[in-house]
Amino acid sequence: DAGITQSPRYKITETGRQVTLMCHQTWSHSYMFWYRQDLGHGLRLIYYSAAADITDKGEVPDGYVVSRSKTENFPLTLESATRSQTSVYFCASREGVLAFFGQGTRLTVV
């Protein structure tokens, strides 16, 4: 199916563990984004990427790492998960002025 696929959809992990959230697009959009969604904060930008091997920090990058070796993939890694990183994470891509979102990953850190 065309679009953005995030995996896993749900994840429970323990404090201190490393966890990677995957994002794959079937288009060839240059720009990709990672957001976290929290009650009262809406969507906050974690990292974004303008192209393969080009990434930049957003509003809330601390504790996260990204990579983009291929245009279609943009994984987000929590190096040592903390309870404050419990959230819903959305990956998105951009074409022109429009943003396209994945279905999200609900991450719980216990």
Partner 1 sequence: GNSVTQMEGPVTLSEEAFLTINCTYTATGYPSLFWYVQYPGEGLQLLLKATKADDKGSNKGFEATYRKETTSFHLEKGSVQVSDSAVYFCALSPDTGNQFYFGTGTSLTVIP
Whether the Cβ atoms of residue 44 and residue 61 lie closer than 8 Å to each other? no
Nearer to partner 1, 96 or 110 (CB): 96
- Rg of the chain over Cα atoms, rounded to whole angstroms, equals 13
State yes or no: residue 94 binds partner 1 (CB under 8 A).
yes
Nearer to partner 1, 23 or 81 (CB): 23
Nearer to partner 1, 71 or 103 (CB): 103
- Angle, alpha carbons 43-44-48 (nearest 5°): 115
Site mask, partner 1, residues 28-67, x = CB under 8 A?
---x-x-x----xxxx-x--x-x-------x---------
How many angstroms separate the first and last alpha carbons of the chain? 33
